[in-house]
Structure 1
Amino acid sequence: MIELKSPTEIAALREAGRVVARALAAVRAHADLGVSLLELDEIAATVIADAGAVPSFLHYQPNSAMTPYPAVICASVNDAVVHGIPTDYRLADGDLVSIDAGAHLDGWCGDSAISFTVGVPRPADLALIEATDRALAAGIAAARPGAKVGDIANAVGSVARARGYGIMADHGGHGVGRAMHEDPSIPNEGRPGRGVRLQPGLVIAIEPMLIAGGRDAYRTDRDGWTLRTRDGSRAAHAEHTIAVTPTGPIILTAP
């Protein structure tokens, strides 16, 4: 069931989104050569706790998962697309890092993700990240009242395919509210004019996941969570929680 949010509820979601934005900014600022993924997880945990919020990912267990998620952030490096579990791995020169974070504040959720490089970047990685960010921006721009979910999907997918990138199969955005994952699903590729009509009060996460190798296939690590490109190519992930308003979309997880 799709639940439309009131202006007051959207304002509360914005406060949760600000917590997530601060957590991601802190993680990005501390991500340097030799820093471990566990250290980044601790930084995000501190920012979220200091805000009086609780991490949305920690102990999260959807029906598809064999075990609860064990960390505050998802930290996916190089060929890991999403859901990477933070470990004692220390960042190395040229790593491509995607960080996904969520937080609940006063019962409302914010969810966002960023990708960046550490040390000397590969030009191909910078191009991949730039395309992922552009795909996200295109999806947000399409989220106007009266449009449909397929318009968002087409906007995201068109940017990715035009540049020769793959799109992670069977994954995409989702509704956001009191739960981190609500209806509707927001695919990263689709036909315009199809699907649920966007109405003011709809709050959704749009999250492109692009694969450099041009293929869409992925595999699951033995940890049951980390999803990697099947061809070993690098991937990038970007995400914002947004609200559809009468005048257009607003980003709730912007800094």
Structure 2
Amino acid sequence: MAIQNIVGRTKYKVYEGSYIEAMPKISADGFRPLTIEEIMRAQLGGKLNFKENYGSCDATLYSSDGRVTFIRDSTHLKELGQDSELENAGLVIPADVSEVLRKENPTFTRKEIGSLLLDDEEHSKLLTKGEVMNNPIWQIYAGQDKALLDSYYEKVWGRIGKNKKEFLDKDKNGLFIIYVYEPEKRDVLFTTALLNEGNMNFFTVLTGGYLSKGPNGEHSSTNLPAIKVS
């Protein structure tokens, strides 16, 4: 497993590999993964670049009844190990634990999520600045910091450039969110990742990143930025 030092901070590292491989190593080294908010701040501050895909310790819980819960700084993700029970490359969460997580964290119905994330059943929304600023999911993962969201939007939009704006609709930015999973029987928790889509500067919150190799053999390796636990 490769480890990269982030320039300018010797106790700040990026771990490469699947979550189920990387998390025990991160913990053993005395580090913890960054949240999406911390990754956004690190990118804006020049500590992380805008060209990579970054995983986080934020999570998305998909419940079998269709509800979706967004969890910042997930203990379950940070305690992930080789003996964790996975289903479709997500962490199985017992029903009683899921109920507690839903009570303690923002939870939405499938219908509510669909209106926030999708233009239709198959296509994720490209969001205008106003939609980004008022989108509760972006707000959750940005720590309810609208100034951070504003700065991040402007940075991403500025990086797209005139020659790439033809790929976008009107003034819509490459900030959008992907909803990916509907469990049938058990509640399953996935990571939340911040992706640079195809080097097009379409930055995506992926609310369903795999913790190990995907159910169809999909690649699960990611970059996990981590900071030393004081």
Structure 1 length normalisation: TM-score?
0.27
Bigger helix fraction: 2
The TM-score, its normalising length taken from structure 2, stands at 0.29
Structure with the larger RCO, 1 or 2 (CA within 8 Å, 6+ apart)? 2
